[in-house]
Amino acid sequence: MTSKINYGETPEFQKDFKKLLKKFKSLEEDLRLVKIAAIEFFHVQKINNLSVFPIQGFCTEEIQVCKIKKFACKALKGRGSKSGIRVIYAFHCQSCKIDFIEIYFKGEKENEDRDRIKSYLKNFERRAG
């Protein structure tokens, strides 16, 4: 099955990912799985398996900023989908495009970087307008 969603990453996400990849070697494969099991289920197939949560205050008709809370990380053995890895992304409803904004480990950081999300949205509006 080919993906109906086009995926992109912000430079900040790439930096976060590289840092976490050193600690959690399975992260690339884990992210590939979460694209299907969480993102595509939620946005394409409209199946809510309670792993994706829209972030209040950052969602409009055109764009939804979401947090993935259930992220199974094989490198964190025995924790299943409660690994503590969080992924923040923007879903562009019209173009069916995802931009990954942030990835972090909850053990090191409690919440998403709301300023980073605001900055992303501001840059998006500038390009669209």
Per-residue pLDDT at 76: 87
Length of the chain: 129
Residue pair 90/101 in contact by the 8 Å Cβ criterion: yes
Count CA atoms within 13 Å of residue 37 on its CB side: 13
Per-residue pLDDT at 123: 87
H-run or E-run covering 34? helix 27-34
Q: What residue ranges do the domains of the chain occupy?
A: 6-128
Per-residue pLDDT at 98: 96
pLDDT tens digit at each of 129 positions of the chain: 456 899 999 999 999 999 999 999 999 999 999 999 999 999 999 999 999 999 999 999 999 999 999 998 998 887 877 788 999 999 999 999 999 999 999 988 989 999 999 999 998 777 665
Query: Candidates 3.10.20.30, 3.40.1190.20, 3.30.2310.20, 1.10.3720.10; correct CATH number of 6-128?
Result: 3.30.2310.20
Tokens representing residue 80 in the block: 């299943």
Residue pair 56/3 in contact by the 8 Å Cβ criterion: no
